[in-house]
Structure 1
Amino acid sequence: MKSIVIEQPGKLVIEQRPLMEPAPGEVRVKVSYAGICGSDVHIYHGHNPFAKYPRVIGHEFFGHIDCVGEGVDPARIGERVVVDPVVSCGHCYPCSIGRPNVCTTLQVIGVHRDGGFSDYAVAPAQNAYVVPAAIPDRLASMVEPFTIAANITAFLQPTPQDIALVYGAGPMGLTVIQVLKGVYGVQQVIVVDRIDERLAMARDNGADLTLNNLQQSVAEQLATQNCRPTLVIDAACHPSILQEAINLASPAARIGMMGFSGEASSITQQSITSKEISLFSSRLNSHRFPQVIAWMSEGKIDAEKLVTHCMPAHQVEAAMLLFEKDQRACCKVLLEF
């Protein structure tokens, strides 16, 4: 089988490897499509602190089960599945309270163990979720990106009455917009970015108002709208955003952080407690795959709106460069295996 391997930071190879066999409790998936994520690019450049090399990257993938390990029902062979990359122990404190995404021995497929940028991949059988016929093969790998939005919104509990402010109109921000509008029915979603083409994508995905903060601050633009957000989601993850979000937010607002930076973020306690603002952080997803599969099947979210490119897997280097560099025209890039 052919696998896309990051041998070391900056060195990507397409390597011929022996066909793997699933261990007890695992399934083997013949991969059809896989999505490129920012974390894949970070591993390529050596900027992901959790990755070990060499590594087959890829944690957004779809395919068919073609082999099962001991203890797995052989009837599962042939199932169309998407794979949850979160592999947890099931018995530590976070797992015991339904937070396997921060398991004390967490492993992420495509980061800590080999992933889906390969002709075949293995995963725990419980991590392979059946995809209904309503979701086409090409879009099934998009389930995982939407689980990230599902996870943060589960903490924030949006309501139709909220005024939501989303920082960042990249793939994460766009999934959040769709979930806020299509699932929770939020009436006003405002999106901030510095790239006009990304803001156009935000409007296409349901944003009611878009703000370019390259020349004029978010605070100045919101003041003209007489607007105080009750819900803020940071999908851009720059260290300066958190304090700005706190300052802009309404009293009793909720703020969600979707990513992380290694740089320090300076905030004042007074600005948080004086308005009794609630801060939530979110990493990966905690068993959100069935929820997102249902949303897709019911038409509440539309993955097609995010997919701008689909390329053969052997063009992975060009695909990753396109994803990283062309932020004006490119959103999600899928690899076809």
Structure 2
Amino acid sequence: MMKSIVITQPGVLEIQQREIPLPAADEVRVKTIYAGVCGSDVHIYHGHNPFARYPRVIGHEFFGVIDQVGRNVMPSRIGQRVVIDPVVSCGHCYPCSIGRPNVCLNLQVIGVHRDGGFSEFACVPASNAYVVADAIPAHHAALVEPFSIAANITAQLRPTTDDVALVYGAGPMGLAVIQVLKTVFGVAHLVATDRVAARLQRATECGADRCVNNQAANVSDYFDEYGRAPTLIVDAACHPAILPQAIELASPAGRIGIMGFSDAACTISQQAITSKELSIFSSRLNSARFPQVINWMGAGKLNPDALITHQLDFDQVDVALHLFENEPAACCKILLEFPA
């Protein structure tokens, strides 16, 4: 038997005893070591994720060791240290055919549409289990998935060393984006804006050149004084007021990236976009970015420790969800540790 963290229905979380699963023919079974808490886990808990079905074992950010394989998988994979890409796609629809499995017409996300990694054991498609070198610590490997989100949006935005960047939101996703923009792509100047001072301090640690508390100051005033408009803007805060402001702030020929799943309406001007010939991109999950992020991590280009604020035993998941939702100043990335 094993223990699994299950949302049985919105607002009800249980740690259940379940049978240890057997991998299907093309699957591997992973003994979970670390799993990260994400905002989408909180949304599923509250019933705010339209894609989740209950009961559901949550968790889409997890690292572990393969301990059993299906009949179509090489036995030599047993013992591999792996991190799991939660994107499960069909491989043959239009988005898949052009290399965008993250918006597959038949998309399933591990931990959302199917049971996830908040369990002592989890079965996943073998192709979704990526090997992580021994040199990468286990607790760092658990953050490959969040950094893959940053890798996905930056792949669309194509940052350069000439860019002046603005990142709205210094939560876990915003901080991952800041690190990738600064330490991987080396953008010339990066400004982070948030309403929580402690988050802005973390943004500085992640490489932001300047931080603006947008509860106390106007970010447009900063760029007026700086003398250059942002050429690249990322909305990692997901508020309906951000896109109109980003369009107003952006340099002509600038690029804007949208992250998040808010269904709140916002009003934008077509003229404001076209007059500057702005490019606006949206990004969901990741499109096979795990190898790229693992390489960045192995080369020391990322600093996962700057995001990790808590490590808790998995049976403290209720504490973890409360911290994540209610303590934005003290909490960034929470890792749940599973027994060896």
TM-score (normalised: structure 2): 0.98
The offset of 1:218, in angstroms, is 1.7
The offset of 1:139, in angstroms, is 1.4
The aligned amino acid for 2:87 is V
The aligned amino acid for 1:292 is V
The offset of 1:296, in angstroms, is 0.2
> Which residue number corresponds to residue 53 of structure 2?
52
The offset of 1:144, in angstroms, is 0.3
> Which residue number corresponds to residue 129 of structure 2?
128
> Which residue number corresponds to residue 201 of structure 2?
200
The aligned amino acid for 2:255 is R
> Which residue number corresponds to residue 21 of structure 1?
22
In 2, Cα distance between equivalents of 1:155 and 1:14: 39
> Which residue number corresponds to residue 62 of structure 1?
63
- Deviation string for 1:269-320 (max 9, x for gaps)? 0000000000000000000000000000000111111101000000000011
The offset of 1:219, in angstroms, is 1.6
In 1, Cα distance between equivalents of 2:134 and 2:191: 34
Q: Which runs of 5+ in 1 are unaligned?
A: none
The SS at the match of 1:64 is strand
> Which residue number corresponds to residue 301 of structure 1?
302
- Deviation string for 1:173-205 (max 9, x for gaps)? 100011001110112010010111110000011
In 2, Cα distance between equivalents of 1:20 and 1:287: 26
In 2, Cα distance between equivalents of 1:226 and 1:195: 26
> Which residue number corresponds to residue 183 of structure 1?
184
In 1, Cα distance between equivalents of 2:70 and 2:167: 43
The offset of 1:81, in angstroms, is 0.2
> Which residue number corresponds to residue 142 of structure 2?
141
Identity, in percent, stands at 66
The SS at the match of 1:274 is helix
The aligned amino acid for 1:298 is A
Would you say 1:174 and 2:156 are equivalent positions?
no
Would you say 1:270 and 2:245 are equivalent positions?
no
The offset of 1:217, in angstroms, is 2.1
- Deviation string for 1:7-62 (max 9, x for gaps)? 11100000000110111100000000000000000100111111111100000000
Between Structure 1 and Structure 2, how many residues are aligned? 337
The aligned amino acid for 2:90 is C
In 2, Cα distance between equivalents of 1:223 and 1:193: 19
The SS at the match of 1:160 is coil
Runs of 4+ residues deviating >2 angstroms: 224-227
In 1, Cα distance between equivalents of 2:97 and 2:119: 33
In 2, Cα distance between equivalents of 1:56 and 1:260: 21
In 1, Cα distance between equivalents of 2:143 and 2:255: 27
> Which residue number corresponds to residue 213 of structure 2?
212
The aligned amino acid for 1:200 is Q
Q: Which runs of 5+ in 2 are unaligned?
A: none
The offset of 1:221, in angstroms, is 2.9
The offset of 1:323, in angstroms, is 1.3
> Which residue number corresponds to residue 283 of structure 2?
282
> Which residue number corresponds to residue 332 of structure 2?
331
> Which residue number corresponds to residue 311 of structure 1?
312
The offset of 1:226, in angstroms, is 2.3
In 2, Cα distance between equivalents of 1:255 and 1:134: 35
In 2, Cα distance between equivalents of 1:272 and 1:233: 16
In 1, Cα distance between equivalents of 2:161 and 2:18: 51
- Deviation string for 1:65-113 (max 9, x for gaps)? 0011120001101100000000000000000000000000000000000
In 2, Cα distance between equivalents of 1:111 and 1:266: 30
In 1, Cα distance between equivalents of 2:79 and 2:223: 52
The SS at the match of 2:276 is coil
The aligned amino acid for 1:91 is H
> Which residue number corresponds to residue 223 of structure 2?
222
Alignment of 1:28-177 (within 5 A): 28-177=29-178
RMSD, aligned CA: 0.7
In 2, Cα distance between equivalents of 1:222 and 1:53: 47
The aligned amino acid for 2:117 is G
